[in-house]
Structure 1
Amino acid sequence: MTSIDAPDLFAQLRREPDVEAPELVAVDATDRLLLDEAADSLAAGPDAVAVVDDSHGALTLGAVVLHGAVSPRVTTDLLLGELALAANAERTGQAGTYRLLPLGPELVRGATTVLAKAPKGLDALRQLAEVVAADADPDVTLFVGGRVKHMTRAMNDVLAESFTEVRASLGRQKSRVLVARGPRADGASSFPHCREHTELGLTVCAHGAAFAGPKVDRGTQALLAVLAGAVPDAATALDLGCGTGVLATALAAARPGLRVLAVDQSAAAVASAQATAAANGLTDRVTVVRDDAGSSIPEGTVDLVVCNPPFHAGVAVDETVAHRLFEGAARVLRPGGEMWCVFNSHLPHRQALTRIVGPTRQVTRNPTFTVTASTRR
């Protein structure tokens, strides 16, 4: 085991290429508490460790450097978190010390310790618990850490669906860890969940961490209501930050001659969009890729971009996270192409769209949501 200590390791970690802001950090109190709570479990099985949704590498690198974990298996839903982990591993001399895998049986098979940052939604926690209970070692211990203000009793109840024993650690620096043992081996994960929306003529499928689940959120509904008027002669369209792929699937269903691309940095969103396209018989018409803000799309090749951008970075509200998507749209749009965007009406996105993409007009507006169309200069 290396002689480096936690302060030395954590001081080297950065968020880049993720969003940087004064209130956002690469290592938080939850990371530290998780590693401390799991110390005995890590020592007992250093070669049987899995890490889920390590924000920027503190859990993975902490397990390796501070607790001697050997080649932990890691999954990170957000691509920027995965890239930050890689950059931090390189920075600290730990490149190649972990393995990236998707959330599924191979990630947790034989694992006796699973470290996870608490997801925002209960369905994401449910899917994690189902995967661990179904495929990890029978003696596995699942440690789920989060900020106390974001944790609820319902999280304990969700974990209890898949484990016989669930307890909470003492709180420290406004963080707490839920510890689950005794997996109930009731079978494979129940995800994705799918729901038919007869009013839209679509079936929507969602993995646990996908925004809105199999529902269609109100912002997407507002954009769907005017989508027929979005660049009617477009040959190529991009659903940027596609989530469950509702906009991409709706475009493909309504316009048989349109080539539709869908991208998102969330692995859960990509899997969900693929499942939604399949449920609607459109896998040959909708191409789904995991990338950062359209980085996989060649410059100036798209006629229409549709987008329902996020306004959170993790659990922190940050309206500027949408700007990364606006910049991506500006790069991939052809001159004269348009970005159709929906956002909460109180947000100053119209000014940002005008500055980043081009002249922006209001398509529709109500007290809650605004839809705009921006023309690439």
Structure 2
Amino acid sequence: MTVPIRHAVYGLPPADLADIPEEAVQVSPLIPGSARLEDVPPGTLAGATLLAPPGTMERRYVLALALRGLEPGGTLLALAPKDRGGARLAKELAGLGCTVADAPRRHHRICTTIRPAAPEGLEAATAEGGPRHVDNLALCTQPGIFSWDRLDPGSALLLASLPALKGVGADFGCGLGILARAVLASSAVTGLGLIDIDRRAVEMARRNVGDPRATVRWADIRAADPTLARLDFVVTNPPFHDGGAEDQALGKVFIARAAEVLRPGGTLWLTANAHLPYEAPLRAAFRHVTPVASASGYKVYEARK
């Protein structure tokens, strides 16, 4: 029997800004293995602590889900950096029918509220931030996923540059499955592993990539995965932001992981912003590195092990 969640924590709030009960259960979609906030039965949480996400629709969605999950009199603590949604938190909670205590601390805004007897606008907020079909992508998607409502220019350049691949490969940071769909258009591809750290992306990729050759996993590519070995190819548009700040180490980890899992002669196809210094780690990890395309501030590389 599943033990009910009594306190939910979303994300990784700074320890000096929020006290997290030991029994709190993580519900962030960006931490593999976490519970789903969407699955918390209404009115069952004694408390919730949220490091609120930066996107407006995503943030209102999470706030509404937390309020829906709280029992009458349950406490919600939501915080965010001032320049990443924190300045709007109190107003957004008020718009959901809450009376809010708002305090600034260490460049964050910390909002505390008791669940009102009759929260307002929860259905609208959860509908706005929930999964939907976007016509211009012809895909299922959800606010909060990388480039959720448009094809980003880096992926577009990689799509235009990819040859017909063959064998068994992986899509690191698969997102909605846009690259995977293009890769699987080649009948010579016999298997493709789609991996992403965002549960929402994984759920949408499962909807968007209906191919028996594909397997989709919710995982952090930085963690070892014994199922990835001697691959023929890897495709990736690696992230270079972590928590809103540019982090070039993320892309370098993707490059190193690709080199580890590819067989000798296997290839990495990578797209990245042109300003990112990835050529040096590519040349350190691969025998041959070829710049294939450059446009709109992005580059595509083919790297052969």
Question: Given the two structures, how large is their TM-score scaled by the length of structure 1?
Answer: 0.69
Aligned to 2:216: 288
Partner in structure 2 of residue 193 of structure 1: 132
Deviates more, 1:186-195 or 1:350-359: 186-195
Q: Distance in 1 between matches of 2:288 and 2:41?
A: 46
* Distance in 2, Cα, partners of 1:263 & 1:324: 14
What does residue 5 of structure 1 align with?
Answer: none
Counting only pairs closer than 5 Å after superposition, residues 2-151 of structure 1 correspond to structure 2 as 48-54=6-12, 58=15, 62-64=19-21, 71-79=23-31, 100-106=34-40, 110-151=44-85
Structure 1 position 371, deviation (Å): 0.5
- Which is richer in helix? 1
Query: Could you tell me which of 268, 276, 286 is aligned with 2:208?
Result: 276
8 Å contact kept, 1:116–1:145: yes
CA distance, structure 2, for counterparts of residue 104 and residue 363 of structure 1:
42
| Equivalent position SS for 1:334 | strand
**Structure 2 unpaired stretches of 5+:** none
SS at match of 1:320: helix
C-alpha spacing 1:308/1:133, structure 2 compared with 1 (3 Å): same
Shift of 1:370: 0.4
1:308 CA displacement: 0.7
What is the aligned residue count?
A: 293
Could you tell me which residue of structure 2 aligns to residue 177 of structure 1? 110
What letter is aligned with 1:223? L
User: Does 1:340 find its partner at 2:269?
Assistant: yes
Please list, as runs of the form range in 1=range in 2, the aligned pairs for 1:296-375 lying within 5 A after superposition: 296=225, 298-375=227-304
For residues 265-301 of structure 1, give each alpha carbon's deviation from its aligned partner in whole angstroms, at most 9, with x where no partner exists.
2223222322332xxxx15342110222273353533
Higher strand share: 2
- 8 Å CA contact retained: 2:8, 2:47: yes
Give yes or no for contact 2:134–2:149 (8 Å, CA) kept in 1.
yes
- Are residues 233 and 263 of structure 1, via their aligned partners in 2, closer, same or farther at CA, if it must alter by over 3 Å? closer
1:237 to 163, 169, 179: 169
C-alpha contact (below 8 Å) 2:6/2:47 kept by paired residues: yes
- How far the C-alpha of 1:221 sits from its partner, in A, is 1.2
For 2:18 and 2:97, how far apart are their aligned partners in 1? 30
* Equivalent residue in structure 1 for 2:144, among 187, 193, 209: 209
Following TM superposition, by how much is the alpha carbon of 1:107 offset from its aligned partner in structure 2, in angstroms?
7.3
Aligned AA (1:64): P
* Map of 1:90 onto structure 2: none
Shift of 1:108: 6.8
| Match 1:260 to one of 189, 192, 195 | 192
Contact 2:8 2:45 in 1 (8 A): yes
CA contact (8 A) 1:274 1:283 kept: no
- Structure 1, residues 328-356: CA drift from partner, whole Å, max 9, x if none? 11111111111111111111112211112
* C-alpha RMSD over aligned residues: 2.9
Quickly say closer, same or farther: Cα 1:170–1:79, change in 2 above 3 A. Answer: closer
User: TM-score, normalised on structure 2?
Assistant: 0.83
Unaligned 5+ runs, structure 1: 1-46, 66-70, 83-99
How far, CA to CA, are the matches of 1:140 and 1:245 in structure 2? 38
Deviation at 1:59, TM superposition (A): 8.5
CA shift in 2, pair 1:206/1:233, >3 Å: closer
Matched-pair contact (CA < 8 Å) for 2:94–2:100? no
* Structure 1 residue 320 displacement after superposition: 1.4
Amino acid at match of 2:149: P
Shift of 1:261: 1.4
Any conservation in 2 of the 1:205–1:213 contact (CA below 8 Å)?
no
How far has the Cα of 1:262 moved from its partner? 0.6
* Identical residues among aligned pairs (%): 25
